[in-house]
Structures are given as structure tokens and as C-alpha cells.
Amino acid sequence: MNNNFEKTATKIAAIATLAGSICMLGGAAILGASGADVEMALDTNNIPGYLATAQAAKTLLILNLSLWILGVVLLGAGATMMTYLSRENQVVTLLARYNYWVGIPIVVTSYVAWLVVLTRLTTYEPASVSIIAETIAWFATRADWLATV
């Protein structure tokens, strides 16, 4: 690799990773301010209560997930650029790059699935859509954790 490419890749990786981290932290703060926690609702079997809370905080939750989607893409782009800079072990480098390329779409898909719940299902009576919301919530949280780990 030439020195010019390395400098450019390093700058892109640093900027993307920092911006992605800021998006993730901002999204987490907004999620905390919303008072709605889907994982807690799943653990306590209180999806109807979550849907009622989510309806009241819909704008915050949509902003939260939007920031997280942007953050995941930025972190993935930054991490992928870092793998291009690695010269140590090419097999590990390629596996890391592959993991980012697989993990990012899984996380984005889970967040988009949860956006469906927030934008569509919260407009209905919580008791009538709770089974659908619970199924999507189960998928979204498991996909998020799978890709994160």
C-alpha cells in the first residue's frame, strides 16, 4: 500500500469511527430519555405497556433508531477501513472484514424491523397488536445482539 492511501484510509477510519460512536452514544441517551425499553418489556412480558409508552415517546424512539442505524453504518465503514490497513495476519483481517460486512446488515435490519413497530403498531390498541409486536421485538433484539457479539 502506498503512503497516500494509508493516510487517507486512516483519516476516513478515524472520522467514521468517531462519528459512529457519537451517533451510538446520542441514540443511547435519547433511548434513556424516552423511558421505553423493549428488552425490559420482553423480560417482564409487558409488551402492551411498552407499546403505550412507545406511542407517547414515538419521536424520540424513531430518532434513537435513526441515529443507531447511521452509527452502525459509520462504525462498520470505519472498522472496514481499519482492516484494509492491517498487514499482520491476512486471514484474520479477511475474517474481520467479513464479520463487519455480515453484521452491519443484520443490525440495520433489526433496527428497521423495530421502526415498523414504532411507526405502524403503536397506532393501534396495544392489546390487539401485542403478539405481533412481541414477535418482531424478539427478532429485532436477538438479531441486534447476534450481530453485536
Q: What is the pLDDT of residues 97-135, one digit of tens each?
A: 898 899 899 999 999 998 988 888 888 888 888 899 999
pLDDT of residue 1: 55
Question: What sections of the chain are H helices per DSSP?
Answer: 3-34, 38-44, 47-56, 58-85, 90-119, 126-148
- With H, G, I as helix, E, B as strand and everything else as coil, classify residue 121: helix
pLDDT, tens digit, 9 for 90 and up, residues 3-37: 888 888 899 999 999 999 999 999 999 999 999 99
Do 34 and 64 contact (CB within 8 A), yes or no? yes
Q: What is the pLDDT of residues 30-74, one digit of tens each?
A: 999 999 999 999 999 999 999 999 999 999 999 999 999 999 999
User: What pLDDT is recorded for position 34?
Assistant: 94
